[in-house]
Homo-oligomer: A and B are copies of this chain.
Amino acid sequence: MKLIPRNTDYAVRAICYIAKKRPAVVSVAELVKKIKIPRPFLRKILQTLNSEGMLISYKGKGGGFRLARKPEAVYLTDIMEAFQGPFKLNECFFKRKICPDRNKCCLKKKIDSIERMVYRELRSITLGSVLRGH
């Protein structure tokens, strides 16, 4: 029932820090010092964030990461999906056999509606809103 695993959590912390330092390039070394996350794990996380287009990386001496988009354009759901795959709360309870018609199953409708609701709410959270504090 955990909505947010560790890597997503770390990712949000890290990206927040990087966002605050905009437009500076932030190295893993600095991040490790500031927010306490195991270094190799954080590296992997940042690489993902980079490959998903939320960060831009700079190799070589003086390199590091900076935000690829405006904070307002970085949705929490993007970060979640980068680590947890497409947003899907659950498959349905009775697949076939028991529910005669899937399109009319009220249980499925309810669960689906909850999923949309959660998604919509999470979608309203952006890096920008977190930084601004509302």
| Cα-based distance from A114 to B4 in the complex (angstroms) | 13
Give the number of residues in A that approach B within 8 Å (Cβ atoms).
38
Chain copies in complex = 2
Cβ of A134 under 8 Å from chain B: yes
User: Which residues in window 87-134 of A have CB below 8 A to B?
Assistant: 87-90, 93-94, 97-98, 104-107, 110-111, 113-114, 117-118, 121-122, 124-125, 129-130, 133-134
Q: Report A75 CB to chain B, min CB distance, Å.
A: 13
Contact A1 B114 (CB under 8 A): no
Residue from B90, B110, B117 within 8 A of A125 (CB atoms): B110
The 7 lowest CB-CB distance pairs between A and B, nearest first, are: A3-B89, A4-B90, A3-B90, A114-B121, A1-B84, A106-B134, A106-B133
